[in-house]
Structures are given as C-alpha cells and as structure tokens.
Amino acid sequence: MTRGLALSSSAARASLAGVALAMALAFAAKMSSAGLAVLGPVGGVPVSAVVLAVLLGIAWRNTFGVSSRFEPGVQLVAQRVLRLGIALVGLRLTLAGMASVGPIAITVAAGCLATALLVGVSVGRLLGLPRGFAQLLALGTAVCGCTAVAAAAPVLRARPADTGMALTCVVVLGSAGMLLYPWLADALFRGDATAAGIFLGTAIHDTSQVMGAAMIYAQQFGVPDAVPIAGFTKLLRNLSMLVLIPLAAMAARRDGPDPDAARKGTGATPIHQAIPGFLLAFVLLALLRTAGDAVLGGTAAEAAWSGIVAVALTASDLLLVCGMTAVGLSVSLRDVQTLGWRALIAAVVVALAVACVSLLAISCLSAGSSL
C-alpha cells in the first residue's frame, strides 16, 4: 500500500513537472506576443501567441529535449488540457451558425476526402511504397490525422513500420500546415471567417493542428469566428470514420482472413474513436450557447449569461495556448530523418492536393452563394 502511494506520488510529480514546463513556455509566448504588439516600428509587430507557443515548444524539444520526467505532464497538457480548450470553443458557435455552414463544409470536406484517398493510394503505388503505408497516409490526411491512422492500422493489418511512418508524416505535414496555412487563408480570403474556417478545417490533418491554425488565424488577423467554423468542419470530417473504417475492413477481408482479427476487433469503429468526447462536448456547448441566447436574451439575466460565455471563451484561449505549447514540445525534427524521400514526397503531394481541392471548392461554392 505504501509502495503504491509512493509510485502514485512519483507519477504526480512527473506530471506536474511537465505541466509546469508547458505552462512556463505558454506564459513566455503570451508575454512575447504582448510585447511584440506594443514594441517595434509602426506600433508594434502583432504575432499570434499560438505561433510563438508552438515555435517555443519545438525549439525546446529539439534543443534541450524532453526527458522522461517531463513527458507525462507534457502529454497531459497536449491531450486533456488542449481538448478542454477545443470543447469550450463550441460556445462561439450557435445552431444557426452550424446550419448555415454545414452544407458548404460537408461539400468541401467530401471533395477533400475523396482527393486524399485517391491521390494517396495512387502516389503510393507510383512511388512503390508499401500498400499499408499509402492507405494509412491517405486516411490520416483525409479524416483526422493520428486518430484515423491509429484506428485503421489494425483493420488494414499494417506493419508497425508503416504505421509509425504514417504517423510521422501526419505530425510533420500537419504541423507545417498549421504554421503556414493561416497566412495563406488571410491572403486569399481577407477576413472571411467562413471561407477561412472551412479551408483550415479541411486542409490540415489532426484536430489539434486544425484548432491551432484557426487560433493563429484568429489572433493574427482578428477573425475569431473562424475558430468554431474550423472546429465544426473538422467534426464533419471525423464522422466519415464511421463509414471508412468498416469499408477498409471489408476490403482487407477480401485479401484473405486475418488470424488476429478477433483480437484486433477489426470491422467496427468504436464511436469514441470516430467522434472523440471533446468534439461531442463542442457540439453540446454550441447547443447550450444557442439555448442560452434564445432563453436569456432580452432578460435581466442576459448580462450574466454574456459574462459567463466571455469567461469561458477567455479560458478556452488560455487552454489552447498551453495545449499548443505541449503540441510543439511533442514535435521532434529528428523524426523527419527517419522518413525516406519517397514517403516524404507522397505526404507532401497528398497534403497539397487536398489543400488545392479545398481552395478550389470554396472558390466555386462562394461564387454562387453568400460564403
């Protein structure tokens, strides 16, 4: 009993060390962002705190490293704290907003999904890459990054090496998109929250990377409404796992029986993998915002309700900065060296193809709508 308590205490201290590191770097990012905004020529140089948080995290990881003492706390922030911040973003969105964005977001997401699957498998075959890697890369780019790769790997009977390589590609290319695409969105859409949010929600791989890019865009260019739209668009992409993973299992069965199928549980997609709990909370909070605005608007409680929403959104921003710092602390540039040039080229081609289709679809749809 005493030994168990000691181990628990040691684990708690390890988590606290990592949490403290992430919070310290996040604080440095916030202070640096505030300082750059008021210092320098022509009234300062505004730089998103999320950009600085990610860059500080990457710089720390690849300069000083993250020891096993800090790793548990860093992962706690990168997962639970970040997910809580994403869930609270739902308070920025209402049912009317989801209804207005939904049809366009679904159309663009479907086009990007089809493109990723087709290009990923085709480029993989052209470059002579393992079939399992090409399939995992396509699914990871099309749907939801690391989650899709982890869920599909046992279904596709992918080798551990192929799974690891696909995960590395998703992390590296998604992180690059997270840091670059907000500026592309501003150059092309100039403050159009809907177009920018849908682009970021469809062109970037993982949920955390999508929200990081949306936060960068919101903070850098003053368009906060793009954040919930990007999150909602990403949720629509996640839903496709309910169909794609079973289809992948059926295709794998045609190649012959898998003796480990029962152990792996292939053929079904658990609901918590297709729709993570924090994304469900995102939708529920959007519904709560809709109900609160409708019931309390114009009453004596309206000011109190608005204050609660404002506090929650401020907390969301702070949690997202901390979470993205931890994401940066998880990115190892040395992992890029483990990728062969063919795998890296395939990942770049698929990512660029998806981004181009997203931009083309948004442009076409905007021409005939109020987007």
Q: So what's the pLDDT on residue 7?
A: 42
Backbone angles phi, psi at 270, to 5 degrees: -55, 140
Choose among 285, 276, 278, 290: nearest CA to 320.
278
For residue range 234-260, what is the model confidence (pLDDT) as tens digits? 999 988 887 887 777 777 666 555 444
Report the pLDDT averaged over residues 296-302: 91
Q: Which amino acid is at 103?
A: P
Rounded CA-CA distance 184/224 in Å is: 17
153: confidence class by pLDDT, cuts 50, 70, 90: confident
CB-based burial of residue 75 (10 Å sphere; 0-12 exposed, 13-18 middle, 19+ buried)? Answer: middle
Share of the chain above pLDDT 90, in %: 60
Higher-confidence position of 322 and 259: 322
Q: So what's the pLDDT on residue 262?
A: 42
Determine the straight-line distance between the first and last CA of the chain, rounded to whole angstroms.
62
Number of Cβ atoms within 10 Å of the Cβ of 270: 12
Q: What's the number of CA atoms in the CB half-sphere (13 Å) around residue 130?
A: 16
For residue range 270-287, what is the model confidence (pLDDT) as tens digits? 555 556 788 889 989 999
Report the pLDDT averaged over residues 107-133: 94
Q: So what's the pLDDT on residue 265?
A: 45
Q: Which amino acid is at 109?
A: A
Rounded CA-CA distance 50/244 in Å is: 32
Q: So what's the pLDDT on residue 272?
A: 53
Report the pLDDT averaged over residues 298-325: 94
Report the pLDDT averaged over residues 40-65: 83
Does residue 264 register a pLDDT over 50? no
Kindly report the length of the chain.
Answer: 371
Report the pLDDT averaged over residues 57-62: 93
**CB-CB contact of 329 with 65 (8 Å):** no
DSSP state of 80: I
Give this prediction's pTM.
0.86
Choose among 328, 333, 312: nearest CA to 28.
328
Choose among 86, 78, 33, 15: nearest CA to 322.
78
Does residue 1 register a pLDDT over 60? no
Report the pLDDT averaged over residues 49-60: 93
Q: So what's the pLDDT on residue 279?
A: 81
Does residue 266 register a pLDDT over 50? no
Q: So what's the pLDDT on residue 335?
A: 76
Q: So what's the pLDDT on residue 120?
A: 94
- Report residue 197 as tokens: 């949010």
For residue range 177-186, what is the model confidence (pLDDT) as tens digits? 999 999 999 9
Does residue 261 register a pLDDT over 50? no
Q: Distances from the Cα of 118 to the Cαs of 136, 142, 292, 353, in angstroms?
A: 12, 10, 43, 10
Worst-scoring range by mean pLDDT, 51-60, 82-91, 139-148, 217-226? 139-148
Q: So what's the pLDDT on residue 44?
A: 55
Q: So what's the pLDDT on residue 40?
A: 55
